[in-house]
Structure 1
């Protein structure tokens, strides 16, 4: 007659001891090994904007009170904060994956968040579809947790974070402000009225957030500073933009990005002399491609970080545009309403050379940065994920729908709420890994 396992153990103590040792080997020992030998997280490396000021101070004052709890989109539903992340999350490549449906999103909207700029406020200007807000990024091999604002603010308590770059960088800052607004509305503590440099403080957490405008990353002047309509810039490719490089030694976190402005008319300076230009029309001046200037500007900015920063520095990769049917100034538009699947053929609409340059310069800087104690330089390679999101741009819904005015479509910036919120999902996960 067969007996239950516990009966066998009762009758034969030697068997009980043996089975217990086997169970101990199969469960406790591997767990202890995993705890003691946790691997170091490795990030895999794969290969004319519409400008406007940040939200004005009076907009902030009008929204100092938290959103009403009667609005479901304003409620904060957060899981218990995890100070440790799972072993599969440590090994996970966050940057290769696919977009999958997410019926729970969005986590804020254009009426509950004060920080959305007009030309990213797609629902305000009548976008008829809402499906672009209802996807989440699913990395291969793991799940990416949705941004938890309470967890983020607890993690950065008493610290400071800065974003440096162009209006796409500012786009991410506004997404972060919206995600955090479900917990707290910050105070504007900017030292000047300059909308290009904004500073907010979350008083309950003593957390400071900065947005620093530097679309070329290096020292830049207008070719004719007396002409407000002058769109020709002088780029000093080997000189720091001290407006941001002088501030980063006070930060704990730094997120830097750029790219789109390097298609504009510019004159390149090196060693205080003109080395060439692009689209400048100057006689006896070498015409150089935009990639020449971008590589050198990025290299200079990464050197500034290596020399002046001791926290966690993140280089966010190039954000592709999705103009179809023509370029941005000749009727190009972005009218798709769903993400691409990874096996779909994607039109060659985005110039990804800047992404290749970022990978190469990041590798070189990261190797150099390993020699500097305290600095952690990481890559947030979101290019693949965003290449699959032609549906996430404002397009024609970044402005009033007027039939008698010809306005360009915006297929560069990202709607809020929208796929750019995923950048902050990834940012928080990277921060948790570093912790």
Structure 2
């Protein structure tokens, strides 16, 4: 079994521009690999050559499973009618219509958002970043309906597995669902089982190494997050080595048995696959490919497609400062011209070892939630220096997202996928 060593995280310090360029290129590479892998599985082909901008891949690999009408009653019919609409081909539009209820929730009334994502409460002077919604060019997404989704999730489990960007999306979903529950904003987000929403183990919302699971009492459904930045298994620290742990690229996270019977599982990975996090005995690309192959094999082997909807959410680009045009500080509006989004080229082929399952059924079990291009346009949506209460010299966070904000749009796409699957 091949293994990779994970370096201990260094203390926060100023990063050199050259390091940031490498990190950005590696992350974009990871995004492209995930898209190509899923395309290869879906098409039954082996290796695929990259011949153009990654943005082209982003536009052409999403299926048309997420288009809905704005009326929840007509959602299923609308999806069927718009089956071939590519929801990734769209734009961010300012939502000034009070009937659209933007933002979708009031952050001060949602106890499920951790401190780093509470941008307005941390001193951000503007709130326009929360007023934008994603509009596909050739179809209409349904308006998010919390009660409709809660009813769909009744007696079911919605599980997010991944890194802290996945936690970002999970907290967004908790807040969006809480708008459909009376009294949900009155609690502290803890384990009071008399509350309409409570953490099943009594744990508070915080950065965590394990898992959190919130139960919506009246619907007997849980919305869970498992922290697994690589998705594959992490081993013990080897003796006499300056590393924190090891990665077993051919084995899923040891807690995978807790996910396989969930009704909806949303996976993500990407930000930790960089030279800043890993000291590998192989290339980052090869290690990532091995991990993705492990994921698809596990889905094929362990998941019952008649019960579970399994989704891979693509990479959410960071906007770290690599040159004079980079960074996210003082950004207040999206990049509305998607043609200006440069997602670096890279040469090469997907490793031929990534052959699809012989039975060809893995593709039917693993769905793609493609948010890469739409997230790349939202440099304005990051916490920047407002990731904690204002302090002199605060380091900008250009990876995570303010809440309410960009992850809400991802969850509107996810909402459409879930309701379509279980209606």
1:342 aligns with 2:342: no
Change (3 A) 1:218 1:123: same
Aligned to 1:272: none
Of 407, 410, 416, the residue aligned with 2:403 is: 416
Counting only pairs closer than 5 Å after superposition, residues 67-216 of structure 1 correspond to structure 2 as 81-82=73-74, 84-86=76-78, 87-103=80-96, 104-184=101-181, 185=184, 186-190=197-201, 196-216=210-230
Partner Cα separation in structure 2 for residue 139 and residue 222 of structure 1: 46
Structure 1 unaligned runs (5+)? Answer: 1-41, 48-77, 268-276, 279-285
The match for 1:242 is 254
Q: 1:281-292 residue pairs with structure 2 within 5 A?
A: 286=281, 288-292=282-286
Paired residue for 1:371? 361
Structure 2: distance between partners of 1:209 and 1:352? 37
- Match of 2:251, SS? strand
Alpha carbons of 1:332 and 1:425: their partners in 2 closer, same or farther (altered >3 Å)?
closer
Q: Secondary structure at the match of 2:380?
A: coil
Distance 1:372 1:290 in 2: 24
Count of aligned positions:
330
More displaced stretch, 188-197 vs 123-132: 188-197
**In the aligned structure 1, how far is the partner of 2:114 from the partner of 2:415?**
23
Deviation of residue 306 (structure 1)? 1.5
What TM-score, normalized by structure 2, do the two folds share?
A: 0.70
Deviates further, 140-149 or 111-120? 140-149
Residues 1:342 and 1:205: Cα distance change in structure 2 (over 3 Å): same
1:381/1:293 CA distance change after superposition, 3 Å: same
The alignment partner of 2:134 has SS state of strand
**Following superposition of structure 1 onto structure 2, how do residues 263-282 of structure 1 map, counting pairs within 5 Å?**
263-264=274-275, 277-278=279-280
Q: For residues 260 and 88 of structure 2, what CA distance do their matches in structure 1 show?
A: 29
Matched, 1:425 2:418: no
Change (3 A) 1:159 1:289: same
* SS at structure 2 position matched to 1:124: coil
1:342 is displaced (CA, Å) by 3.0
1:159 to partner: Cα distance:
1.3
Question: Which residue, 382, 392, 395 being the options, matches 2:371?
Answer: 382
Equivalent residue, structure 2, for 1:219: 233
**Inter-CA distance 334–231: structure 2 relative to 1 (3 Å threshold):** farther
Using the TM superposition, give the Cα deviation of residue 393 of structure 1 relative to its aligned residue in structure 2, in angstroms: 0.4
Task: Decide whether the 8 Å contact of 1:217 with 1:301 is kept in 2.
Answer: yes
Q: Deviations over 1:253-298 (max 9, x none)?
A: 111010001115566xxxxxxxxx44xxxxxxx4x33222211112
SS in 1 for 2:368: strand
What corresponds to 1:309 in structure 2? Answer: 303
Structure 2, unaligned runs of 5 or more: 1-42, 44-57, 63-69, 185-196
- Aligned-residue offset at 1:372: 6.5
Distance, in Å, in 2 between the alignment partners of 1:296 and 1:162 is 23
User: What secondary structure is seen at the aligned counterpart in 2 of 1:144?
Assistant: coil
TM-score, with normalisation over the residues of structure 1? Answer: 0.68
Query: 1:93, CA displacement in angstroms?
Result: 1.2
C-alpha separation in 2, matches of 1:238 and 1:132 = 40
5 Å-filtered alignment, 1:350-365, equals none
Alpha-carbon RMSD across the aligned residues, in angstroms, is: 3.3
1:402 and 2:391 matched: yes
Q: Which residue of 2 aligns with 1:296?
A: 290
1:190·1:197 contact (CA, 8 Å) conserved in 2?
A: no
| Bigger CA radius of gyration | 1
**CA 1:357–1:408: 2 relative to 1, 3 Å:** farther
Is 2:160–2:265's contact at 8 Å kept on the other side of the alignment? yes
SS at match of 1:146: coil
